Structure formats: C-alpha cells, structure tokens
Amino acid sequence: MKNRQYWKGLATGLLVSSVIFAAGILGYRNADQSKGTVLESSEHRAKIIALEQLIDAYYLGEKDEEKLADGMYKGLVSGLGDPFSRYYTAEEYSDESADSHGSYEGIGVSMTDAPDGGALIVMCYEGGPAERAGLLPGDIISAINGTDCLTLTLEQISEMCRNSGGNSVELTILRGEDSEELLFDVPIENVELLSVYGEMLEDHIGYIRIEEFKGVTARQYSETYAMLASQGMEKLIVDLRNNPGGYVSQVCDVLREILPEGLIVYTEDKDGVREEERCDGAHYIGMPLAVLVNDKSASAAEIFAGAVQDYGIGTIIGEKTFGKGVVQSIRTFRDGSAVKLTNSHYYTPLGHDINGEGITPDLEIQLEEDVILASGQSHDNDTQLQAAVRVVSAQKVV
C-alpha cells in the first residue's frame, strides 16, 4: 500500500496551477477548425469509426460509450509517452484533488487488505473520527452497516465507509487474536491528512518528517516547527525520504521558513518563459540543519534539497534523489474531467536542472533494506538518521 501511495504521489508530481476553463474552451466548439491535430486526419477519424463498428459487430459484451470515450481521451494523452501527463475522469480527478489537497470526507483511517478478507486498519489519523470512536490499528473491518464486506475489494469497502447514506457509519470490527467482534458508530467528517510529523531527539535536535507536499503541508510544518521550538530545539533534521513531491507552492512556503533572502526555484516553459519563486529571508532558520533524502525523494522534495544545498545552509544526507525536474499543470473541463500535462522544467537557485540526474547528497549513506521509513517508527537501525544526528551535533549553535 505504501508503494502504491508513493507512485500515486509521484505521478501527481509538481502541481503549479489548476486552471478551470469555461464551457467551450479547449476546443469543444472549434475542434473541426483545429490545425495539426490527430483528429484533423481523415484517416485517423475513419479508423476510430471502424474500430467502434468492429466492437458493435463482434464484441461479446455490452459496450459503455462513456467508458469508450474516456479510454480514447486517456489513450491520446498516453501517446505522449510522458509518465507524468495524464487524463482524469471526473471521478478520478475528484479523488486526486482530495488526496493532493490533504483533506477528504471519511472516517480517518489508512487501510490495506486483511489476510482473510475485509480491511485491515493500518493507522487511525490523530484526532480523527475513527480514533475518537475507539478504533485501533490492527482492527479488521468485517461488515459495514450490517453488510458483510469480507469478500469486497479495498476500494469497495472504502467507498461504503465514505458514502453510508448518513452522517455516520456502523462498523463491525474483529479485534485481537480471538477476533472479538465489536460494533462502532463512526462519524463521517472532513478529515485532514497528516503530512508532517515531528519529535524531539537527543541534544535538542528537532526531527521533522514531511511525507508529501500536500495543500495542508506548509501550515502543518509551521505548527510542528513551533511545537519543537517551544521544547528548546537548537538543531533541525528534515526527513524527505520517500517523499514523492506535491505542490510547488507548499514546498516554497516551507522553504520561506528556512532560507535566507533570494531565489528558491525557477521554471522555464518550452517558449523560454521564466517564472520565479523567491524568499525574503525574514525567517532564515540560522541553526544547524540536515536534510535526509533517498532515491524516492522526488520533485518538490528535490526543490527543497536543491535549495538547501545551493545556499550551503545544511547538509544533504542519504542517497541520490529520483531526478524529476519537470513541472505539471492541471486544466479542468466543464464536465469535471481534467488533464495534467508536463509544461516546464524547474531549476535550483544556482541553475541546476536535475531532471534525470537527481541531487547527489553531501554525505552518501546507504540504508539497510529492512528499515521502515514512516512517521512514528523506531530510529534504532536508521543509519542515515544517525549520521544526520552526528552531523548537526558537531555543528556550533549560533
């Protein structure tokens, strides 16, 4: 499940804008007058018609015209050969938007498939409706509103939990080795996903892990930083390992709490148009800093690491990053569907294009494969984090 979430986050990539187009825009009314398009070719149009005629004549099942149309749109974007460009149906875009913004309507749990059917609760979000109702990690959801769900898919169980037809949902839970059956009435609410986690380590070292740069991340980072500062933090480690990226606006807002005055990142599109994000330096961190990265640190996470490295205000530790130095923007259609297209390159403050190259850490250290990188996990065998502790501990507090 963690891998699925990572690749989904990576595909979401670096969202710099979401432009809503009015009815008729994007060629709805002027498609026949377009130039240099696939549908301008009579051969291509004829082949599409021929394919549908063959489906009507020979396909055993029933065709769904809406799904055929969606498949055609997806195929057009897929033909770009760009792993970061994608067409979304209205339902897919709604789900993607909720995940990217960092909040959604639900019960506030992370689930995976249970070994014998149903859904295994991996985590209850702190302060969320499931935690308040008394659910625990390790519980198995076996029925929803009295309907057995042991043979359902994870997606079907998730949908039933969110859309129960009321303001709450009754969950039948199997708990413990004896599979004790318990009933819980769980409210359905707007749940904010936790993308930032913090704790105080030894020697007044603050540790902040950023899972992904969602729409709520900058605020959560500020709150976490303030909490650690109130506990006497004098040095900071920021963990970006397995962070697939996210919103450029969010990573820039976090960096404005760290960097001195100057350029944060800039982008250039295919016409050479340049756009810049800058920092006024009003909140320059001014304390020993280390940033942890690995080969799954991508996109916005690389903007963070690249800026810290270019300014020389912290030590980058871990493994070479993923190397996603391109930016996507999302444009929506009037029917709720959307298309995400790669539209520019981004560059670090010193002008480095890391696309396909990644960022090489100042201190390269491999991590043992059995170490779990997740919020709240034990740090005992985390050699990269231990190296970061040594690095910031050796630096003078000024």
pLDDT at position 124 is: 87
Residue 85: strand pairing partners: none
- Among candidates 305, 288, 284, 258, which has minimal Cα distance to 388? 288
pLDDT at position 23 is: 34
Helix residue spans in 163-278 (DSSP H):
217-230, 248-255
How large is the angle between the packed helices 2-12 and 90-101, nearest 10 degrees? Answer: 100
Residue 186: strand pairing partners: 169
Note the pLDDT tens digit of each residue in 28-71.
444 444 456 888 888 999 999 999 999 999 999 999 999 999 99
- Among candidates 289, 313, 316, which has minimal Cα distance to 301? 316
pLDDT at position 222 is: 98
Q: What is d(CA 30, CA 270) in angstroms, rounded to the nearest whole number? A: 24
Three-class secondary structure of residue 57 per DSSP: helix
pLDDT at position 377 is: 62
pLDDT at position 71 is: 95
Q: What is the CB neighbour count within 10 angstroms for residue 357?
A: 14
Q: What is the CB neighbour count within 10 angstroms for residue 178?
A: 7
pLDDT at position 111 is: 86
- C-alpha torsion 253→258→263→269, nearest 10: -40
Element (H, E) at 390: helix 383-393
Assign domain 105-192 to a CATH class. mainly beta
pLDDT at position 5 is: 54
- Residue intervals in the chain for CATH 2.30.42.10: 105-192
Strands 235-239 and 289-293: parallel
- Residue intervals in the chain for CATH 3.90.226.10: 196-393
Helix residue spans in 79-216 (DSSP H):
90-101, 129-133, 154-162
From its phi and psi, is residue 113 left (phi > 0), alpha (psi between -120 and 50) or beta? beta
Residue pair 56/64 in contact by the 8 Å Cβ criterion: no
Residue pair 26/331 in contact by the 8 Å Cβ criterion: yes
pLDDT at position 17 is: 39
Residue 170: half-sphere exposure toward Cβ, Cα within 13 Å: 7
Q: What is d(CA 89, CA 74) in angstroms, rounded to the nearest whole number? A: 9
One digit per residue, the tens of pLDDT, for the chain of length 398 reads 445 555 555 555 555 433 333 333 344 444 444 456 888 888 999 999 999 999 999 999 999 999 999 999 999 999 999 999 999 999 888 878 776 777 778 898 888 899 999 999 988 887 889 999 999 999 999 999 999 999 999 889 988 988 877 899 999 999 998 999 999 999 998 887 788 999 999 999 999 999 999 999 999 999 999 999 999 999 999 999 999 999 999 999 999 999 999 999 999 999 999 999 999 999 999 999 999 999 999 999 999 999 999 999 999 999 999 999 999 999 999 999 999 999 999 999 999 999 999 999 999 999 876 666 666 666 778 999 999 999 999 987 65
Three-class secondary structure of residue 49 per DSSP: helix
Instruction: Reply yes or no on domain 196-393 having CATH 3.40.630.30.
Output: no
Residue pair 123/111 in contact by the 8 Å Cβ criterion: no
User: Would you state the structure tokens that stand for residue 40, as one six-digit string?
Assistant: 């301008």
